[in-house]
Amino acid sequence: MNIPDKVVNRLTMYHFILEDIRDDEKYISSTKFAELLNIDNSQVRKDLKYIDNQGKCRVGYEVKTLKRKIEECLGFKKTKDAFIVGAGNLGSALAKYDGFKDYGLNVLAMFDKDIKKIGTVINGKEVFDISKVGNLASRLDVEMAILTVPREYAQGTANYLAGAGIKNIWNFTTCILDVPKDVKVWNENLIGSFLQFTNKDKDE
Amino acid sequence: MNIPDKVVNRLTMYHFILEDIRDDEKYISSTKFAELLNIDNSQVRKDLKYIDNQGKCRVGYEVKTLKRKIEECLGFKKTKDAFIVGAGNLGSALAKYDGFKDYGLNVLAMFDKDIKKIGTVINGKEVFDISKVGNLASRLDVEMAILTVPREYAQGTANYLAGAGIKNIWNFTTCILDVPKDVKVWNENLIGSFLQFTNKDKDE
């Protein structure tokens, strides 16, 4: 089933909320989600229809079931292995963040071209020479790279990754990558995110 | 004018592309944007209507004018001052990233409760004791905080920031914050972003 991006995003946030529910609370209402996320109640109910979950009248959604269904629907348990390419500030911060694993993202190793970084280990992830990425990608069957190199190296690195068999690039740089058709890029546009926030602020 | 979030996001990416255009290229076509971002040509033209920019038939959009109009429209020059709250891995990585400034985000200082971090300076930004946030916010007229504390401290810190006069929280944690009505939260949901990417991959 094709779930729209915005719905995937909200389902994840419903899951964050469910994580914080006290053990003795068995049910949660759509109103609770709506209030915390500052969205319409009807939006919540529409979103939750995607995961085939029935809320009970006056009682709400059963917390454990809803949590499990979101996990199944979004594939938290189907682990995706990935490399972090660029062991700078952001790459290292992402490598040190253990939360990804709970949602199915498993970072196996890091890559850089800086000889001072190669061989170091960041939160259990070894930093390898970028020239080894193709070899390790095929040996470990990794198709996903998280790109955190400086902007000016982004396109060159993307070319290299494409040649090394990487099929999915989660791009944290502000360079829009020109890649072969069989490589998918997901732009993590923090600048755009900030501008969405501030432009919203301006309107009100 | 109210520009939809997705359009703001894409306008930012058009700007990234314009940044990389060679000096001798005066014009750019909507097709070029569309190909690089893997979206429809018609989408690009629709987006660019928001910023009142006329493309010339067969020639395309004038690079310099388009760039300037995007900057004006999204307010790159209207600097927003902000604090980073949480001087851990992600907070420090964001503090070290100088690119934000070009898009209007100016980080003035950082806050933490860890005595080992207080007094240190990260990329020119001093780390202050979190108890000073209210005082500095009112003295420097700062209303925006970038929240990068560990998940378990997120709600407590948000309560504290709300009490200290912060009106906008850019939330990088996976805790959905319960804040007073006059405080706006923008959830930077990296987990959701990853799941959008991988769920798209699954569909195709």
Q: What percent of chain A has pLDDT over 90?
A: 87
| Domains of chain B from N-terminus onward | 5-72 (1.10.10.10), 80-191 (3.40.50.720)
Amino acid A204: pLDDT: 44
Predicted structure pTM score = 0.93
| Distance separating alpha carbons of residues A111 and A91, to the nearest angstrom | 10
For residue range A46-63, list pLDDT tens digits in order. Answer: 999 998 767 677 788 999
Query: Which residues from chain B sit within 8 angstroms of residue A196, using beta carbons?
Result: 5, 8-9, 186
Own/partner pairs, B194-197, CB within 8 angstroms, 24+ separation: B194/A100, B194/A103, B194/A104, B194/A105, B194/A170, B195/A8, B195/A12, B195/A74, B195/A75, B195/A103, B195/A104, B196/A5, B196/A8, B196/A9, B196/A186, B197/A168, B197/A170, B197/A184, B197/A186
pLDDT in tens, A106-154: 999 999 999 999 999 999 999 999 999 999 999 999 999 999 999 999 9
pLDDT beyond 80 at B175 = yes
**Closest CA of chain B from A151, distance in Å:** 10
Q: Which residues contact B154 (CB under 8 A, 6 or more apart)?
A: B147, B171, B173, B175, B177
Report which of A120, A119, A121, A145 is spatially closest to residue A133, judged by C-alpha positions.
Answer: A145
What is the per-residue pLDDT for A23? 87
Tokens standing for B43?
């989408």
Q: How far is A17 from chain B (nearest CA, A)?
A: 6
Report ipTM for this prediction. 0.92
**A82 Cα to chain B: minimum distance (Å):** 11
- A97 at the B interface (CB within 8 A)? yes
Q: In the predicted model, is pLDDT for residue A3 greater than 70?
A: yes
Q: Do A99 and B151 touch (CB under 8 A)?
A: yes
Interface check for B63 against chain A (CB to CB < 8 A): the answer is no
